[in-house]
């Protein structure tokens, strides 16, 4: 990219800081006026005879006319977020629904219900809701509104209601998989390219995720060793008068390295690991969305084949095929628009994450 080459030139008038580089990128379609602000905070532990779980406060501020109030405060547990994600997938089978953190985050790295685990999940849930709020279609979903505004008993009552029209449509789409045999015949080239892109993306993002976790683990081990190694020199200096000053100097240097490494670890855990892992989950979601699109197309293909093999009931089949063609077109258009938007967001997130890591490394080595 020539713009990056220009930024990296040694002209004294051009800033070369990574943070200044990132500020040059701004998308034309970024909304300047937001009307929905959501915060997830204040986690609370609940212990019952049956289970232990965490609830989070969800505060919503809005100026939208369809909301009865300008501010709402509700408490939600992880299962409520999972219900919302499921409802969004049912209602919009070919839109890219943001990922939720798994039931257990970064297995082996943190204890469940530890402060670190709860904070990591809180941030992920906060991002999940705000990604939905920023989405041009999902933000107006009725279940999303209910999630943000209903009190616990109201939400529980709403969950118990039978599936609506959109939910039944979602179930139909999932059921199609069992009725469609073989591959999709008439899949447009664009969606084949998307599928190939996602297979490659999935492989690369999984490798990056593993490497980042390995680097973090090595940094942590290095940090723990330095924490033990520094004080040894301080104790040693007490029994070696001739080299006491030198030993104290080494201890001081190790202490500085220790603090700098701790900052670098914080940068990795806050700015890189969550982004990479989120896009590992996104890669799974995208593959699922592409499969659902193929299933809708497969249903159309099977009807067209059935019509070709039947001489009677042509009028009925023609009507069904017309409806399915509309359904496929809607699915294709929804996915196309969401795909472009997702790629722009992904590239921005990746650029920001790796630029932050580079900047942190520069600071670390300078120190």
Q: How confident is the model at residue 307 (pLDDT cuts 50, 70, 90)?
A: confident
Q: Where exactly are the structural domains of the chain?
A: 34-157, 179-366
Beta bridge partners of 56: 76
Contact yes or no for 50/43 (Cβ under 8 A):
no
Cα–Cα dist 157/151, whole Å: 10
pLDDT digits over 30-45, tens only?
445 788 999 999 998 8
Count the Cβ atoms, other than its own, within 10 Å of residue 276.
Answer: 21
Sign of the Cα torsion 341, 34, 29, 123 reads: negative
- What's the burial of 228, exposed, middle or buried (CB within 10 Å: 0-12/13-18/19+)? exposed
Helical H segments across the chain, by residue range = 2-7, 18-22, 78-91, 115-134, 142-149, 152-160, 165-179, 189-237, 244-267, 273-309, 314-366
Cα–Cα dist 299/148, whole Å: 35
Token pair, residue 157, equals: 């009552």
CATH superfamily of 34-157: Phox-like domain (3.30.1520.10)
pTM of full prediction above 0.75: yes
> Could you tell me which residues come within 8 angstroms of residue 196 by beta carbon, excluding any fewer than 6 positions away?
none
pLDDT digits over 329-365, tens only?
999 999 999 999 999 999 999 999 999 999 999 999 9
CATH 1.20.1270.60 fits 179-366, yes or no: yes
pLDDT at site 4: 43
Q: How confident is the model at residue 2 (pLDDT cuts 50, 70, 90)?
A: very low
């Amino acid at each position: 990219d020539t713009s990056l080459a220009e930024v990296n030139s040694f002209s004294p008038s051009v800033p070369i800081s990574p943070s200044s580089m990132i500020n040059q990128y701004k998308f034309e379609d970024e909304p300047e006026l937001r009307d929905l602000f959501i915060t997830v905070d204040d986690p609370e532990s609940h212990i019952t005879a049956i289970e232990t779980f965490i609830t989070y406060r969800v505060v919503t501020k809005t100026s939208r006319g369809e909301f009865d109030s300008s501010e709402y405060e509700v408490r939600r547990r992880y299962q409520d977020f999972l219900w919302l994600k499921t409802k969004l997938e049912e209602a919009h089978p070919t839109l890219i629904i943001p990922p939720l953190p798994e039931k257990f985050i970064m297995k082996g790295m943190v204890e469940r219900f530890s402060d670190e685990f709860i904070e990591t999940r809180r941030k992920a849930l906060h991002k999940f809701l705000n990604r939905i709020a920023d989405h041009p279609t999902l933000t107006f979903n009725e279940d999303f509104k209910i999630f943000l505004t209903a009190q616990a008993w109201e939400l529980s009552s709403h969950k118990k209601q039978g599936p609506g029209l959109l939910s039944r449509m979602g179930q139909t789409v999932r059921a199609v998989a069992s009725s469609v045999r073989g591959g999709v015949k008439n899949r447009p080239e664009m969606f084949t390219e998307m599928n190939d892109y996602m297979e490659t993306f999935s492989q690369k993002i999984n490798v990056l995720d593993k490497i980042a976790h390995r680097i973090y683990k090595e940094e942590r081990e290095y940090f723990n060793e330095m924490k033990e190694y520094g004080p040894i020199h301080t104790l040693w200096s007490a029994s070696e008068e001739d080299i006491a000053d030198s030993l104290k100097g080494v201890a001081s240097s190790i202490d500085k390295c220790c603090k700098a490494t701790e900052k670098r670890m914080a940068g990795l855990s806050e700015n890189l690991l969550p982004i990479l892992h989120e896009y590992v989950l996104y890669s799974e979601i995208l593959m699922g969305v592409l499969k659902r699109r193929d299933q809708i197309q497969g249903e159309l293909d099977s009807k067209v084949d059935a019509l070709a093999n039947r001489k009677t009931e042509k009028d009925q089949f023609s009507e069904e095929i017309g409806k399915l063609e509309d359904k496929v077109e809607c699915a294709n258009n929804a996915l196309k628009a969401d795909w472009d938007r997702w790629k722009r967001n992904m590239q921005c997130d990746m650029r920001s994450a790796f630029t932050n890591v580079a900047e942190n490394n520069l600071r670390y080595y300078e120190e």
